[in-house]
Amino acid sequence: MKKIVVMSGKGGTGKTSLMGSFAAIAENPVLSDCDVDAADLHLLTDPKVKESGLFSGGYTAEIDQKKCIGCGMCQKECRFNAIIEEGKGEEQRYRIDQLECEGCGVCNIVCPEDAVDLEDAVNGEWFVSETRFGVMSHAKLGIAEENSGKLVTLVRENAEELASGKSTNILIDGAPGTGCPVIASLTGSDYALVVTEPTVSGIHDMERVLDVADHFDIESGIAINKADLNEEMTEKIERIAKERDIEILGKIPYDTVFIDAQMEGLTVVEFVEKDNPTYLAIREIWKNLENRLYRVD
């Protein structure tokens, strides 16, 4: 069993579309959508939910006004300016702005009257589903909720449990960027495929996410999407890859078929003919990826 994470330093590079095509090509894979802040792999896989549950990654705090004596200790110690003062004199009390509160619990610790109640926050929901490609672990983070890194870890662990004892690959749609959700997506992976595009921001963010993979000693490769849009930038990506001793597994031409396939709820390799240049490019990337994973030369 190999764990393959498909990543991108920035959004919009075609990461999820490529991941969906891999799901269609691979033999009965376990899918894991770790892009929980903006999960959209389900748009291509039409999952049928078999199991679900609520996710709690922190706390919500509430001040009991009957116990509050208006000392202001909670407001003084809150680093997020989430404590609002109301009233004056003997009527002075404090309440918590839930939009600003980070659920750290310091108000509960410093309150001399034990007037602050902490409860587990519901930050999102996780799912285990069946798709036409195989079983999928995925999740949905609530609007403006935090701790997506913890939810990513839960999604990944669910996928590993689903794949336990099976001779199969886990395909992980990683979070974009370089932050906590990306690190949680990468953890324990065997290979990181970084999808980039020949633009200034694409190259900059590609290098950042490659640095993250290097830090965790995870082998990585590069796939260039829209490679023919700017040949000079594509050549720059190739030079960077050579300098870093990283293999470019393939180059995909610019093609509006990505959008056309999404509109039909299909992956690119399902939507186009097998002689289509984009289809052939994606198949080549998958073949090269398998060769790297299992060292077939």
| pLDDT tens sequence across 17-36 | 999 999 999 988 999 999 88
Q: In this structure, what token pair is assigned to residue 259?
A: 């959008």
pLDDT of residue 296: 52
Q: What percent of the chain has pLDDT over 70?
A: 98
Give start and end residues of each alpha helix (H) in the chain.
15-25, 42-45, 73-77, 106-110, 148-163, 180-186, 200-215, 231-243, 257-263, 268-271, 277-294
Domain 2-55+124-294 sits in CATH at 3.40.50.300
**Helices 277-294, 15-25: crossing angle, 10 deg rounding:** 70
Query: Exposed, middle or buried, 21 (CB in 10 Å: 0-12/13-18/19+)?
Result: buried
User: Cα(14)–Cα(280) distance, rounded to whole angstroms?
Assistant: 16
In this predicted model, what pLDDT tens digit does every residue of 68-102 receive, in sequence order?
999 999 999 999 999 999 887 777 889 999 888 88
The DSSP line for 3-31 is EEEEE-SSTTSSHHHHHHHHHHHSSSPEE
Whether residue 30 contacts residue 162, with contact meaning beta carbons closer than 8 Å, is answered with yes
Q: How many CA atoms lie within 13 A of 287 on its CB side?
A: 9
Whether pLDDT at 297 is above 70: no
Return mean pLDDT, the chain. Answer: 92
Q: What percent of the chain has pLDDT over 90?
A: 73
Query: Exposed, middle or buried, 263 (CB in 10 Å: 0-12/13-18/19+)?
Result: exposed
User: Cα(75)–Cα(10) distance, rounded to whole angstroms?
Assistant: 37
pLDDT level of residue 276 (50, 70, 90 thresholds): very high
59-120 folds as Alpha-Beta Plaits (3.30.70)
245: left (phi over 0), alpha (psi -120 to 50) or beta: left
Residues of each domain in the chain carrying CATH 3.30.70.20 = 59-120
Q: Give the pLDDT mean for 251-271.
A: 95
Residues of each domain in the chain carrying CATH 3.40.50.300 = 2-55+124-294
- The strand pairing partners of 140, in sequence order, are 125
